[in-house]
Structure 1
Amino acid sequence: MSKLDELIRELCPDGVQVFRLEEIAHYAKTRIDCKTINEDNYVGVENLLQNKAGKTKATSVPTTGMVIAYQKNDILIGNIRPYLRKVWLADCEGGTNGDVLTVQIEDTEKVLPQFLYYVLSSEKFFLYDIQNSKGAKMPRGSKDAVMKFEVPLPPPEVQREIVRILDNFTNLTAELTAELTARKTQYSFYREKLLDMTKVKAMMVEIADLGKWSGGKTPSMAEMKYWEGGTIPWVSSKDVKQPILSDTIDHITNAAVDEASMTVYPAGSVAIVTRSGILRHTFPVTYIPFETTVNQDIKILVTKEGISSRYVSHALQAYGENIRRTTKKQGGTVDSLDFQKVLAYKIPVPPLDVQNRIVNVLDNFEKICSDLNIGLPAEIEARQKQYEYYRDKLLTFAETGNTILSRAEQSRAEQSRAEQSRAEH
Structure 2
Amino acid sequence: MSRLDELITELCPDGVEYKLIGDVCDFINGFAFKSSKFQGYGEPILRISNIQDKKIDTSNLVYFNLDDYTEDLSKYIVNKGDIVVAMSGATTGKIGVNDTDSIYYLNQRVGKFVPNEKIILNRFLYHILTSKTQLIYQISGGGAQPNLSSEKLKQIKIPLPPLPVQQEIVRILDNFTELTAELTAELTAELTARRKQYEYYRDLLLTFGDEVEWKTLGEIGKLIRGSGLLKSDFVEEGFPCIHYGQIHTYYGTSATETISFVSVDKSKKLKKAKKGDVLIAGVSENVEDVCKPLAWLGGDICISGDMFAFRHNQNTKYITYLLQTTDFSRYKEKFAHGAKVTRLRQDKLLAYKIPVPPLEEQERIVAILDRFDALCNDLTSGIPAEIEARQKQYEYYRDKLLSFKEVTA
- Indicate conservation of the 8 Å contact 1:235/1:248, yes or no: no
Q: Tell me the equivalent position of 2:113.
A: 105
Q: Tell me the equivalent position of 1:415.
A: none
Amino acid across the alignment from 1:106: V
| Matching of residue 391 in structure 1 with residue 395 in structure 2 | yes
Consecutive unaligned residues in structure 2, runs of 5 or more? 64-75
| Matching of residue 36 in structure 1 with residue 36 in structure 2 | no
- Indicate conservation of the 8 Å contact 1:176/1:380, yes or no: no
Kindly state the Cα deviation for residue 363 of structure 1 after the two structures are TM-superposed.
1.6
| Matching of residue 275 in structure 1 with residue 279 in structure 2 | no
- Indicate conservation of the 8 Å contact 1:272/1:285, yes or no: yes
Equivalent-residue separation in structure 2 for 1:173 and 1:285 (angstroms): 28
- Indicate conservation of the 8 Å contact 2:280/2:292, yes or no: yes
Equivalent-residue separation in structure 2 for 1:18 and 1:199 (angstroms): 78
Amino acid across the alignment from 1:389: Q
Encode CA deviations 1:117-164: one digit per residue, 9 max, x unaligned. Answer: 7853x6x845985898765xxx56564699477665665412343122
One of 169, 176, 186 as aligned partner of 2:197: 186
One of 292, 316, 328 as aligned partner of 1:309: 316
Kindly state the Cα deviation for residue 325 of structure 1 after the two structures are TM-superposed.
0.9
Kindly state the Cα deviation for residue 364 of structure 1 after the two structures are TM-superposed.
0.9
| Matching of residue 172 in structure 1 with residue 183 in structure 2 | yes
Q: Tell me the equivalent position of 2:126.
A: 116
Consecutive unaligned residues in structure 1, runs of 5 or more? 63-68, 402-425
Equivalent-residue separation in structure 1 for 2:149 and 2:317 (angstroms): 48
Amino acid across the alignment from 1:345: Y
Amino acid across the alignment from 1:369: C
Superposed, which structure 2 residues align to 1:23-422 within 5 Å? 28-33=30-35, 35-37=38-40, 51=53, 55=57, 57=59, 71=78, 73-75=82-84, 89-90=97-98, 91=100, 102-107=110-115, 109=117, 110=120, 112=122, 116=126, 120=130, 125=133, 129=137, 139=144, 143=148, 147=153, 155=163, 156-157=166-167, 158-197=169-208, 200-206=211-217, 209-216=220-227, 219=230, 226=233, 234-236=243-245, 239-240=248-249, 243-244=252-253, 253-254=262-263, 257=266, 261-263=269-271, 265-266=273-274, 270-279=278-287, 282-283=289-290, 285-287=292-294, 296=305, 298-304=306-312, 306-318=313-325, 319-329=327-337, 332-371=339-378, 378=382, 381-382=385-386, 384-396=388-400, 397-400=402-405
- Indicate conservation of the 8 Å contact 1:52/1:88, yes or no: yes
Q: Structure 1's 141 and 334: CA in aligned 2 closer, same or farther, altered over 3 A?
A: same
3-state DSSP class of the match of 1:36?
Answer: coil
Q: Structure 1's 264 and 254: CA in aligned 2 closer, same or farther, altered over 3 A?
A: farther
- Which structure has the greater CA radius of gyration? 2
Q: Structure 1's 167 and 284: CA in aligned 2 closer, same or farther, altered over 3 A?
A: farther
Q: Structure 1's 266 and 172: CA in aligned 2 closer, same or farther, altered over 3 A?
A: same
Q: Tell me the equivalent position of 2:72.
A: none
Equivalent-residue separation in structure 2 for 1:339 and 1:308 (angstroms): 21
Question: How many residues are matched?
Answer: 371
Encode CA deviations 1:358-405: one digit per residue, 9 max, x unaligned. Answer: 122112112222215xxx86466335413422333223433417xxxx
Q: Tell me the equivalent position of 2:67.
A: none
- Indicate conservation of the 8 Å contact 2:273/2:302, yes or no: yes
Q: Structure 1's 32 and 119: CA in aligned 2 closer, same or farther, altered over 3 A?
A: same
- Indicate conservation of the 8 Å contact 1:283/1:320, yes or no: no
3-state DSSP class of the match of 2:243?
Answer: strand
Q: Could you tell which deviates more after superposition, 249-258 or 199-208?
A: 249-258
